[in-house]
Amino acid sequence: MKNPTTPLRPIHAVARDIRREWKNVNYAAKPYLDAMDSLSVKTDMFYADDAISIVLYFLCNATSFRGNIAKTLKAELKAIVK
């Protein structure tokens, strides 16, 4: 988890790391992961959807993404949209 004084990474950077770690992305999470590739901050938009919604939908559909790295990356996404 990031230090409170450390700036948060862009959403697309976290998505890249998720894609690298999660070899068989769940079909329900994939569209949201794909959308996150074009997002930087929580105020960005992907067509009619805001970044916060996209990240939250991804997290809801990413329950099969498990392990220490998955936990860290999900916590990072939660911190971004907080």
Query: For 24-55, what is each residue's pLDDT tens digit?
Result: 999 999 999 999 999 999 999 999 999 999 99
Compute the mean pLDDT over every residue in the chain, rounded to the nearest whole number.
93
pLDDT at 82 over 60: yes
Decide: residue 4, CB within 10 A, 0-12 exposed, 13-18 middle, 19+ buried.
exposed
How buried is residue 34: exposed, middle or buried, by Cβ count under 10 Å (0-12/13-18/19+)? middle
- Reply yes or no on whether the pLDDT at 80 is more than 70: yes
pLDDT of residue 7: 79
Which residues sit opposite 45 in a β-bridge? 50
Q: Is 60 exceeded by the pLDDT of residue 5? A: no
The residue ranking higher by pLDDT, 2 or 70, is 70
Question: If we measure between CA atoms, which residue out of 8, 12, 17 comes closest to residue 35?
Answer: 12
